[in-house]
Amino acid sequence: ESFSSAPLANITSASFSADGKRIAAYTSDSLSGSKIHTVDMENKVWSLFPNAAQTFSWAPDSHKIAYLSQAGGVNTVYTTDADNSRAKPSEVIKIHGQDITVSWPVPSTIFFGDKPNSAWGSSLWSLNISKKTVTPLLADLPGLETSWSSSTTQLMGLTFSSNGNGGRLQLINQDGKRLQTFDFITFPSKCAFYDKPVPQDSARPSSAVSTSTKKTSPATPKSILTLVCAIPRDGDTLNNNPLPDAYLKKAIFTSDDLFEINTSTGEIKSIFSDSSKSLDADDMKIFNQSVFFINRYDKKVYSISLPK
């Protein structure tokens, strides 16, 4: 389906809002500066944010967007509502830094950090939107990349950091505390969180318990925060190269299998493995019990159904 014939050149990235009803497209232009364009998928109407922007992220529960605009070496974090193109952007805070990325996984908090490079240390901060306070979470980690869950059960982050050649992958909480270090290497862009439904019938307590001794059982959780990752079959490909630089520059490619990881227990299950196929999965997303990703070998979008 073609939803627009608007001439929009130099698109470098685009993403859906959480409900899929809006798209934001980021364009880069050396003369007019980088801009954010949004489209209303229902009415097929395009809008342009007036401020130049360096990076952006959708809110998890609305059509608001957080973005950075730079002037005089100072970055200003703004939020604005894509449903009201006439509304003035709301300034949240000014920060100093270069090549900053933003992520807005929960309504109250924006995370921002340095773009990754194996040659220098990057950092990660959290921004409380209402209090306008910044808290440092991780500091001076080479090649730092992060992604966050937008879970209704709990907030977790996935971080990759470089050891020069190779690196390590960890789960952290919203305060930056390490929860788990994995014994495999991949990148946050090759992983995605989702709330996996728990079959309620399989967890019901036995009805044969005497009423005189019966205790109230804790409620069975409706879902478990689960991580799906594309993990390279050949770990030496990553261990023998500076990361994430070599991967981002497309100096190396990987052939991946997909695994499902229980973030509470650390249990890992294979969900797709086919040595006859070369899938270098990137920009992974999960919707309606299916995982979607771009295969870097052919630039096509693939999907794989997740186990129930």
Closest CA to 92 of 72, 124, 69, 115: 69
Residue 107 C-alpha from the chain's centroid: 15
Give the dihedral sign, CA 129/174/229/100: positive
Residue 70 neighbours by CB distance under 10 Å: 17
- Report yes or no: 156 and 173 within 8 Å, Cβ to Cβ: yes
Residue 149 neighbours by CB distance under 10 Å: 24
Residue 23: pLDDT above 50? yes
Q: How confident is the model at residue 256 (pLDDT cuts 50, 70, 90)?
A: very high
24 or 51, which is more confident?
24
Residue 208: pLDDT above 50? no
Percent of the chain that is helix, strand, coil (3-state, to 5) = 5, 50, 45
Q: How confident is the model at residue 206 (pLDDT cuts 50, 70, 90)?
A: very low
pTM: 0.87
Residue 8: pLDDT above 90? no
Q: 44: which 2 tokens?
A: 């097929």
Helix, strand or coil, per DSSP, at residue 246: helix
The DSSP secondary-structure symbol of 307 reads P
| pLDDT value at residue 202 | 52
- Report yes or no: 292 and 302 within 8 Å, Cβ to Cβ: yes
